[in-house]
Each structure stands twice: as C-alpha cells, then as structure tokens.
Amino acid sequence: MKTKTFPHGIHPPERKELTSEKSLEFFPPPEKVVIPLHQHFGNPAEPLVKKGEEVFLGQKIGEATSLFSASVHASVSGKVLSVDGHNHPLGKPVLSVTLANDGEDRFHPALSGTEDPLSLDPDQIRQKVKEAGIVGLGGAAFPTAVKITPPKDKPIDTVIINGCECEPILTADYRLMMEHPDEILLGAELVRIATGADRILVGIEDNKKEAFGLLQQKAASYSAEVLLVKTKYPQGAEKNLIYALLGREVPRGGLPFDVGVVVQNVGTAKAVWDAAKTGKPLYERALTVSGNGIKEPKNLNVRLGTPFQSVIDFCGGLTEDVNMIIMGGPMMGLSQWVLDVPVIKGTSGILAWASAKPITEFACIRCGRCVEHCPMGLMPTQLMKYVKYEQLSDAENWGALDCVECGSCQYSCPANIPLVHWIRLGKNQIMSQKRKKSA
C-alpha cells in the first residue's frame, strides 16, 4: 500500500520502544487530587463546589459558562479540601479544586448512559460531549463540543481520526488503538453523525503497523476507512494530516471546517463514545510516562488532577541525574519546574531525562534547513529576524501567525537558535497589537 504524506517535515529519533509494548495500566487514584478549572483552550470554568462539600466521582465541579470553555468533573469521590490557586503545568497558578479521595469511587447517581448511542441525533451527541467536558486529547485541548458543531455554511464531508502520534516517545494513543479499537471507531461514528459527514478516515503512521492492521480489520463493520501515512514529524498536525489524506489545504488563518473536515484524536473519539454509552465524563486519560530518566516507563490510565510526583513514583521514580521534566511530547511539550502540578486533560505524556549541558547558540548562517523542513512553508529564520528587530508587520506578512510551533525548524537548526521561542514571542506581540487596535 502506498503511504500518504505531506511535504517537508523531519525524522527525529522515535524512542517509542520504551513503552510501545506495555499495556495501559490502571493507576490507582491517589489520596488527593488537584483539579484545575482551566485545562483547555479558551476560558476557565466557573467553580460549582465549596470547601467541605462532598462530591461524587464524575460530578461536575466546574461549569463552562462560555462557548470556548469546557466543564470540569471530579475524578474521585470525596470531600472538597479547598478551592484555591495551585501550580499548573502551563506555568501560571490556576484556580483549582482540591479533593480528598474517600477511596470509594462512588459514581454520580445522576449520570446515565444510553442503550444505543448510535441512535442519538446530532444535538443530543453534542450535548453529551459538552456535559462530559470533552476536549481534544491530542494535546491542544480544544473543546470538542465546539469542534463538532460546524457552522451552517460550512458543510462537513469527512471526519478524520488522528492516530498518527507523531511525537517521539509517546505511545498512549498506540495503546488505545490496540486495546480499544471498537470504542474509537464507535466514537468516530458519533462524531460523523454529529457533524453530518459522509465518511470517516483514520490516519495511522506506518511505524504502528499492528494498530493499522487491527483497526483496518475492525473498520469494515463501521464504514470507516483506515489509511497508512508515512512516519514523519509532524504528520499528526491537523493541517498536515488533512493535506496528507485528502490533498486539501486549510486556508491561511482558517480552520478544518473551511475544507469540510473535522479532525479528532483517537483518545477523544474514545472519550466521546464512553460519554454517550455510559455517561462517563472526562475525568481520566491515557498517557505515557517515559524517557530514560524514568525507572519503569509505562502507559497509564490516570485520573485527572493526579500530581506528577505520584505518577512518577508509580513508575519507579526518577533516576539520579534527571534535570528535565516535560509534559507532552519532546517536540511540543512544556518543561516543568515542579512536580506538584496535576495531570490535566492535555497531558499526553510525562517525560523525564538528563539533558546534556546547555547547548551553544551560534549565529544563523542562513543554511536554510529551517525553510527546508517547515511543514507550513514558512521561513523561520526570517521570521526570527523580523521579531528580533521588531519588524512585526513583516513578521505577520511572512506568516508568523501560520506557525504551528511544531519545532521542526529548531530541531534542524545547526546554530541551535531557539526559533520557536522567537516566533511564539512574535505571535504574542502581533496578537496584543491587534487587540489594542480593536479595543
């Protein structure tokens, strides 16, 4: 079979063998969880509980009060210890609900499933997804309810299920595909119904042939088509995957809606199915704990709000020389400075390793490798210079806002210039200028 792909991109070391054959393990809920009310793209949720209150597992404790937001649920049953600011993996402290686990896992009695979710109509599916607080589990944590509500003038014909997992080291999505293929395909079918699409395409990188075989075998009964894509980073980036599978280009500044596509990660599809079938809100997720700084790398199902420290302890702890902790993958993940931050909806992995001494930065020699590898067709070195010398309008014209921050440029830069950092800074400055202008 011919594997589909997109132009440019890079081939970083994969390092998936550390965990790829390890099944998803159940992580026993810790004694205390800290659930931030802001775990997603958009506005924070409003707290619904007070200190001292008793909550059930799956009870809504934060309400999404605006469109771009997602509700937050209790991941254990027990007592509210506090509603207060707490360290957050994104860096700034966030209003969070701390729960003492009573160890009973009493499921909220009001939450109920549906006998046959496939008979639900689009509005009912969207409602279930919204109530369950589901967000994109690939890492960006965009509210799924918004994503499966296409505007009336933008008809959707294709649902793409993203099983690329192009980030090195991470294997949680692979394990989900191996262990829950039916739920993923059923969830995809619900997304298809909700968006009114005609077909489902599942894209899987060719370094996960087993998952591809398994899903392909199952797909026949779910009217989905499973396609193999080349193992190349960032194959799983939304716009690149759409191009690889359909040859369609999402217009600059546009969304997949604009080309009739909705993309969902495999974990999100499963969460959609679980929510519709059993009424289970998004209070746990699959993640990979790995890197050579973790003594026993694992794939785990972890309750949201579990501190990184507990997860790492469960995996045998850190090796002596660890000096880097990353939430997410090595290409786009966020480095952490403390371990008391909780697992959130966007935590696709917890990685640890010993990084070498700080790398020396050299001057840009205009080798053009960043341009050669940029999957978006940008000139990162030029953008970096525009931002550095405060030529923001040039930076914008040359596509700073089109940057998806995948890191391909910086990975291939022989001068070790923090290109992504510069471009991100430029994006922030351009956006704040725009806000000032419109205000």
Partner 1 sequence: MSEKAFVIQSSPHFQDKDSVPKIMFTVVIALLPAIGASVYFFRLRAVGLYFSCVVASLVTEALFLWIRKKPFHSLWDGSAVLTGLLLAMTLPPTLSLELAVIGSVVAVSIGKQVFGGLGYNIFNPALVGRAFLQTAFPVAMTKWLPPATLVVDTATYATPLGNLKFQDAVLQGTLTPLKQLLWGNTGGCIGETSAFALLLGALLLLTKKTIDWRIPTGIFLALSAFTGIFWLASPDKYASPLFHILAGGLMIGAFYMATDMVTSPIYSKATWIYALGVGIMIGLVRLFGGFAEGVMYSILFMNTFVPLLNRTFRPRILGEWRKTA
Q: How far is the CB of 8 from partner 1 (least distance, A)?
A: 9
Does 376 participate in binding partner 1 (rule CB under 8 A)? yes
CA distances from 120 to 150, 280, 307, 342 (A): 18, 16, 37, 34
CA distances from 427 to 329, 412, 414, 416 (A): 22, 21, 24, 20
Nearest residue (CB) to partner 1, 123 versus 372 = 372
Residue in 48, 326, 343, 384 binding partner 1, rule: CB under 8 A:
326
For the record, the structure tokens of 83 come out as 């509603």
Nearest residue (CB) to partner 1, 167 versus 183 = 167
CA–centroid distance for 64 within its chain: 19
Q: How far is the CB of 354 from partner 1 (least distance, A)?
A: 10
Residue found under tokens 């997949």: 256
Nearest to 433 by CA among 372, 391, 403: 391
Residue in 63, 107, 248, 430 binding partner 1, rule: CB under 8 A:
248
- Window contacting partner 1 (CB under 8 A); options: 49-57, 65-73, 200-208, 242-250: 242-250
Does 137 participate in binding partner 1 (rule CB under 8 A)? no
Could you tell me the end-to-end alpha-carbon distance of the chain, in angstroms, rounded to an integer? 54
Does 32 participate in binding partner 1 (rule CB under 8 A)? no
Q: How far is the CB of 61 from partner 1 (least distance, A)?
A: 23
d(CA 318, CA 408): 28
Does 93 participate in binding partner 1 (rule CB under 8 A)? no
Q: How far is the CB of 231 from partner 1 (least distance, A)?
A: 15
Residue in 217, 416, 428, 432 binding partner 1, rule: CB under 8 A:
416
Residue in 147, 239, 285, 298 binding partner 1, rule: CB under 8 A:
239
CA–centroid distance for 353 within its chain: 21
Does 97 participate in binding partner 1 (rule CB under 8 A)? no
Indicate the DSSP class of residue 117. Answer: G
The answer to whether the CB of 103 falls within 8 A of the CB of 32 is no
Does 410 participate in binding partner 1 (rule CB under 8 A)? yes
Nearest residue (CB) to partner 1, 178 versus 383 = 383
Nearest residue (CB) to partner 1, 139 versus 279 = 139
Indicate the DSSP class of residue 57. Answer: B
Residue in 339, 391, 392, 429 binding partner 1, rule: CB under 8 A:
339
Nearest residue (CB) to partner 1, 186 versus 344 = 344
Task: List all residues 6 or more positions away from 83 whose beta carbon is below 8 Å from its beta carbon.
Answer: 47, 49, 50, 51, 95, 96, 97, 98
Print the binding letters for residues 285-324 with partner 1: x by CB under 8 A, - otherwise: ----------------------x-x------------xxx
For the record, the structure tokens of 75 come out as 């991941």
Amino acid letter for position 55: V
Q: How far is the CB of 297 from partner 1 (least distance, A)?
A: 16
How many residues of this chain bind partner 1 (CB under 8 A)?
72
Q: Is 57 exposed, middle or buried (0-12, 13-18, 19+ CB in 10 A)?
A: buried
Residue in 9, 12, 136, 305 binding partner 1, rule: CB under 8 A:
12
Strands (E) in 237-293, as ranges, are 261-265, 284-290
Q: How far is the CB of 405 from partner 1 (least distance, A)?
A: 7
